Structure 1
């Protein structure tokens, strides 16, 4: 049988085995560098200017005191005692501010740990979250006694945290609600009565900072000026992230009727608007300083507070913050 051109001869076929190739060596993925916590900005610039000014004032005060101690001892030594007392008081204030700032900065991690333990069936890990809060509210023994009355070793971490929220934290929420209502109402009245726009801004800022300190104090966190400014910044940031839709949806007009604001003068309407904004800010501050997430209690919202702010003072007790069911 004749073969055609290019036909293969099966008897001459050679089978070549495939040589296995070595598996490629896996290259570990390089994790991205962590974001730097240090970001230069105007805050650091003004902080440096303030520290430099403070250092110059202290140096000049010490030099002047030493001069008067040398030339006029009867005047210089009392001045030295006064300067020493002032510096000591300043150091104590700085230490308190640092402590308050660190405590405020640790709250997000604390809430994250609490959220993780809420579903835990283990025991013993919730103590490190509960005991520091109980120590901070030792001036309210009723809350502490209520928790310890129902607490026992058989409870899991999740059950203990829910008990802690029901017996202690919700009581803190009620005090914080009252602080927000008082502050918002004062801001609305001060704005309505103030004749000058610049005075409006000063009064609103002063009363807002006071309200934020009262809210933090309700959760056992006494704040100074720096920590209060940090709380204000975080509350404003959260408010901007969440949006002001509820301010429009559940604002003063929705709470007391659409015809209410039309009966007010422009100044009184501005006061009501500022009161609602302050209440929204207070709600966000509550979420920032609360020691654990909202589980048995509803998150604070403007709809609940609007009626209380515009209601008579004797009818504003009670919030109904516990979730139904």
Structure 2
């Protein structure tokens, strides 16, 4: 009969070193949290900037192409006129209409840049009035706000309230706070709804559409449309190039202030995305992409608003994304 060796006894070691409590051990990092890849890719696309030589080469090629096209169109029209006066006249009218349309589009883009610059000037003057206690400058800002929104029927009641109570206010904070409450708070509500709709769209497409670049394209398009709508709400009415430039400016603003904003504002949204990622990776990515879209919307509000947030509270990303996803689940 074979002898069976006795079982080995467990090895016990005494550890007297401080800090050996397992409860004090750091948590195991979760490396599989969703990162919002679609929004990160959209931000890289929006903020890409070419070199000076690249911009110069683009200008040269565009100018050359425009010159060649203009000469070819001129020769085409003159040749048709020499062959047949009627057909040549039709071609001349069509070319003239195309040139007029191009000039009109260029004028609209230029006007959009001027409107966005006007909002920047108002915001800067309001900040100067508050910092310097300049009541005259504050009154000038409120008059400019009234002229800016003079054609807005939805702000008629707010303008009347501002006109009625403005003479009773003799301090800068009170006057600018009155203008903010009467004119900008209703616009803030409209901007919040635009942000919630964009966040809902980005989160839905990321969660439900498994195509490779669909979420990136949707994130870029939704953010571009959201930024354009926010500018229109506050009086900017940016054009196509103006909207893309504003989106680039918003992402640049987030690069400068995003580290602080993400740690204090997005932590609960990212945590929620991590919980959902345990069930579905796509749903977790959708939550984080929606939260980042909401953060872009809040930054666009700060850059397009003619007065900085002072009396009215600045919207929080957690509240926006919560309402956006609640509306999604209710559907």
TM-score interval, smaller chain: 0.7 to 0.9
Task: State TM-score, norm by structure 1.
Answer: 0.73
Partner of 2:275: 259
Between Structure 1 and Structure 2, which shows a larger proportion of helix residues? 2
Partner of 1:60: 72
Structure with the greater alpha carbon radius of gyration: 1
Q: Secondary structure at the match of 1:278?
A: helix
Whole-Å separation in 2 of the counterparts to 1:212 and 1:278 = 10
Q: Secondary structure at the match of 2:68?
A: helix
Residue pairs, 1:196-235, within 5 angstroms? 196-235=211-250
2:104 is equivalent to residue 92 of structure 1: yes
Partner of 2:126: 114
Partner of 2:207: 192
Structure 1: which 5+ residue stretches go unaligned? 1-38, 316-325
User: How far did 1:214 drift?
Assistant: 0.5
Conserved in 1, the CA contact under 8 Å of 2:202 and 2:289? yes
User: How far did 1:306 drift?
Assistant: 1.9
Residue pairs, 1:1-12, within 5 angstroms? none
User: How far did 1:217 drift?
Assistant: 0.8
Question: For this pair of structures, how many residues does the alignment match?
Answer: 276
Whole-Å separation in 2 of the counterparts to 1:142 and 1:283 = 22
Whole-Å separation in 1 of the counterparts to 2:273 and 2:204 = 19
Whole-Å separation in 2 of the counterparts to 1:105 and 1:307 = 33
Deviation string for 1:81-113 (max 9, x for gaps)? 222122112112111211222332354443221
User: How far did 1:42 drift?
Assistant: 3.9
Q: Which has the higher contact order (CA 8 A, sep 6+)?
A: 2
Deviation string for 1:174-207 (max 9, x for gaps)? 1111111111211222333434323333332222
Q: Secondary structure at the match of 1:220?
A: coil
Task: State TM-score, norm by structure 2.
Answer: 0.72
Partner of 2:287: 272
Partner of 2:267: 250
2:167 is equivalent to residue 153 of structure 1: yes
Structure 2: which 5+ residue stretches go unaligned? 1-50
2:304 is equivalent to residue 289 of structure 1: yes
Conserved in 1, the CA contact under 8 Å of 2:269 and 2:287? yes
Conserved in 2, the CA contact under 8 Å of 1:246 and 1:302? no
Q: Are residues 49 and 128 of structure 1, via their aligned partners in 2, closer, same or farther at CA, if it must alter by over 3 Å?
A: farther
Over the aligned positions, Cα root-mean-square deviation in angstroms equals 3.0
